[in-house]
Amino acid sequence: MSLDVRALREQFPILAQEIDGNPLVYLDNAATTQKPQAVLDAIMAFYTQCNANVHRGAHALSDEATRRYEKARDSVAHFIHANSREEVIWTSGTTEGLNIVANGIAQRLQEGDEVMVTQMEHHADLVTWQQACTRSRAILKVVPIHDNGALDIQAFEDMLSGRTRLVALPHVSNALGTVNPIKKLAALAKQKGALVVIDGAQGIAHGGVDVQDIGCDFYAFSGHKLFGPTGIGVLWGRGSVLEDWPVWQTGGEMIARVSYEASTWGALPNRLEAGTPNIAGAIGMAAAIDWFSKLDLEAVQSHEKQLLASATEQAMAFDGLKIIGSAPDKIGVLSFIIDGSHPADVGFILDRQGIAIRTGDHCAQPLMRRLGVPGTARASFSLYNTLDEVDSLFRALKKAQMMLA
Just list the catalytic residues. 363
Q: What DSSP string describes 337-374?
A: EETTS-HHHHHHHHHTTTEE-EEE-TT-HHHHHHHT-S
Residue 65 or 287: the one with the smaller Cβ distance to ligand PMP is: 287
**Shortest distance (Å) from residue 70 CB to ligand PMP:** 23
The DSSP code for 295 is: S
Q: Using CB under 6 A as the criterion, which residues of the chain lie in contact with ligand PMP when the complex forms? A: 93-95, 122, 124-125, 170, 174, 199, 201-202, 222, 363
Contact 62, 69 (CB under 8 A): no
**Shortest distance (Å) from residue 220 CB to ligand PMP:** 8
The DSSP code for 246 is: P
Residue 141 or 378: the one with the smaller Cβ distance to ligand PMP is: 378
**Shortest distance (Å) from residue 340 CB to ligand PMP:** 28
Residue 95 or 164: the one with the smaller Cβ distance to ligand PMP is: 95
**Shortest distance (Å) from residue 330 CB to ligand PMP:** 14
Q: Please, what is the end-to-end C-alpha distance for the chain in angstroms?
A: 44
Q: How many residues does the chain have?
A: 405
CA gyration radius, the chain: 22
Residue 3 or 282: the one with the smaller Cβ distance to ligand PMP is: 282
Alpha carbons 382 and 107: distance in angstroms, whole number = 39
Alpha carbons 82 and 88: distance in angstroms, whole number = 8
**Shortest distance (Å) from residue 30 CB to ligand PMP:** 6
**Shortest distance (Å) from residue 44 CB to ligand PMP:** 23
Which of 30, 37, 32 has its CA nearest to residue 16? Answer: 37
User: For residues 192-208, b (16+ Cβ closer than 10 Å) or e, as one string?
Assistant: bebbbbbbbbbbbbbbe
- Helices vs strands, H then E, count in the chain: 14, 17
Residue 173 or 270: the one with the smaller Cβ distance to ligand PMP is: 173
Residue 222 or 335: the one with the smaller Cβ distance to ligand PMP is: 222
Residue 201 or 390: the one with the smaller Cβ distance to ligand PMP is: 201
**Shortest distance (Å) from residue 59 CB to ligand PMP:** 34
Please state whether beta strands 195-199 and 218-222 pair in parallel, antiparallel, or not at all (unpaired). Answer: parallel
Mapped to the 3 state alphabet, what secondary structure does 319-345 carry? CCEEECCCCCCECCEEEEEECCCCHHH
Using CA of residue 84, residue 87, residue 88, residue 90, what is the dihedral sign?
Answer: positive
